[in-house]
Structures are given as C-alpha cells and as structure tokens.
Amino acid sequence: MIDEETGATIPVAPDRPISDEIAISVQELDITYRTTFEKKPTLKQAIVRLGRGKRSVKTVEALKNVSFEVNRGSVLGIVGHNGAGKSTLMRAIAGIVPPTNGRIEVVGRTSTLLSLGVGFNRALTGRENVILGGLAAGLTKDELEDRYERIAEFAGLGDFIDMPMNTYSSGMGARLAFSVAVHLDPDILLIDEALSTGDAVFKEKATERMQELVDNSSTMLLISHALRTIINMSTECIWLDHGKLMMRGNPEEVVDAYTEFVHVKKTSATMNDM
C-alpha cells in the first residue's frame, strides 16, 4: 500500500486466516520496579542526600494486571502515550524484565528490535556487534556464520561493516539493527518504533522484508506512534494507558478510541507521527 502523503510503501496486514494457535499469552501481568531519579546515581550524591534525608528512589508501576493473548501469525499493534508501559510490555515478552506478578508464555524464538538498536559497544566494529548480539541472543556460532553474510548484505553498509560503530551515522546503526532482528528468523518479532529510521531506499527494503515476515506467519508486535502504520499493519490492536489495558480489538476502532481519548483530531500529522 502506498502512503498518499509521503509516497512510501506501508506494509499491510496479512490477508489470510490467522492460526488458532496461541503464540503469546500474557496472564495478569504486573510489573513494578524501582528506579532512580538521577541520570547517573553516584555515591557522592547518595552521601549528600543522606545528609538532607532525601531519597531518590521511586517505584514505577509500569504494568497493572494486563492480560491478553496473541495468535500465531497476527500482528498486534500497541498504542498509548509515552510512559504507558508499551516498551516494558515488549521487554517482558522478550524475557528481559521478569514479571512482578503474573505469567507470560511465549511459543517460539523472539527477536527484539527495540528502539535503541544493536550497537551496544561502539568501540567495536559492526561485524563484532552483530556476532556478539547474536551470541547473546542464544544463537550458535554456526548459525551466525550462516546468517552473517545475509545480514551484512541487507544492511548495505559496504566497508563500514568492519569499522567501529562510533563512525556510523544513526541511520546506519538502525539499518544494521533492523537487519539483524529480521534475519534471526524469529517466530515472534518485537518492533519498537523502529520503522522511522533509515533513508528512503532502506525503508523500502525494510518494508518488503517486514511484509515477507508477516506473510510467512511470523507473529509480530508493533509499537508505533505513527497511527497509520498501526492501522495498516496490525490485525489487532491494544491500547495501554498508565500501565492498564484500556482496549483490545480491531486496529481502526482502537486507534479511534485512543485519539478521541487524548483529544486529538485525526490529522495527517497525528496519523503519521503521534
């Protein structure tokens, strides 16, 4: 499908019956964690604060009693304001953040594409980051060797692949991250705001690849503030507000309810980026 405004291709929801098998089951999930106000907590500040009798720790109730199921092959869009718990939900499904209460069952291998990308150590080359990311995700060396060439070729970074990642532009980093995530042959792909990165050529390629994954009945979870993407790509949609599941259903209806709730008109600006 072609976006009238930008002329870019938007992947569309798969036109096929969705399997009855459950891929992800989230049951009464609560996630509470404690974190600090400070960007970089230090012992020095802790001592200073002790003198003043202040505490810097706050408890965040990121998700409250969230339950839903995702069938294999469906694309679940997730909408909600900033801090609604969307990313925490993704992290929980990926197994990065354990539940405080409740239970999550995931059938198959997940691959995460959370907004921050793959390059964790910018002093290392793109190649090293790909290999290390893959090994950490549980792939064997042989599996990675099989995939490495495809990943590098798809990212299209040329000689940059063997350069330290601190020489990359942010778009290049995102391309590599996307390439890794989709080439791990995931059963479940978790995408957090990653579609807006990269240049036009890469976007086209990424879209094609996503469509391929969707058509091959991979399950996909998609967080995006571009509501048009959610409507077009998802087969189903959930709306989170302050950690609570507000609504689940047809993407168009959920997005309508969400936009009405936050009192924004469905202008082209909000549909593309909200």
Partner 1 sequence: MTNPVPTETRPVQVFLPHRAGLPRLVPYFSNLWKRRHFAVELSRASMRSAHTNTFFGQFWLVIGPALNAGVYFLLVSVIRGGNAGPDFFMHLLAGLFAFNFIQAVMSNGATSVTKGGNLVLNTAFPLLLLPFSALRTAFFRFVPSLIILLGFFIYFDYFGAQSQACDAVTGVCEELNTIHFTPIMFMAIPALLLIFIFAAGLSALMASVQIYFRDTTQLLPYATRIWLYLSPVLYYADQMKPWMLKLEILNPLYPLLGIWSETLVEGTIPPLTWWLGSAAWAFGSLFIGVFFFMSREREFAVRI
- Interface with partner 1, residue 59, by CB under 8 A: no
How many Å apart are CA 126 and CA 105, to the nearest integer? 33
- Interface with partner 1, residue 46, by CB under 8 A: yes
Taking residues 234 to 263 in sequence order and writing x for each that binds partner 1 by CB under 8 A, - otherwise, the string is: ------------------------------
- Interface with partner 1, residue 11, by CB under 8 A: no
- Interface with partner 1, residue 35, by CB under 8 A: yes
- Interface with partner 1, residue 164, by CB under 8 A: yes
Question: Tokens 């290999």 identify what position?
Answer: 131
Question: Tokens 């058509």 identify what position?
Answer: 215
Q: Which stretch binds partner 1 (CB under 8 A): 5-13, 34-42, 75-83, 153-161?
A: 34-42
Q: How far is CA 151 from CA 195, 247, 257, 266, in A?
A: 17, 37, 39, 38
Q: Minimum Å distance from CB 160 to partner 1?
A: 16
Q: Which stretch binds partner 1 (CB under 8 A): 2-10, 212-220, 232-240, 244-252?
A: 212-220
Q: Which stretch binds partner 1 (CB under 8 A): 155-163, 214-222, 247-255, 256-264?
A: 214-222
Rounded to 5 degrees, what are φ and ψ at 234? -85, 150
**DSSP letters spanning 29-51:** EEEEEEEESSSS--HHHHHHHHH
How many Å apart are CA 189 and CA 185, to the nearest integer? 9
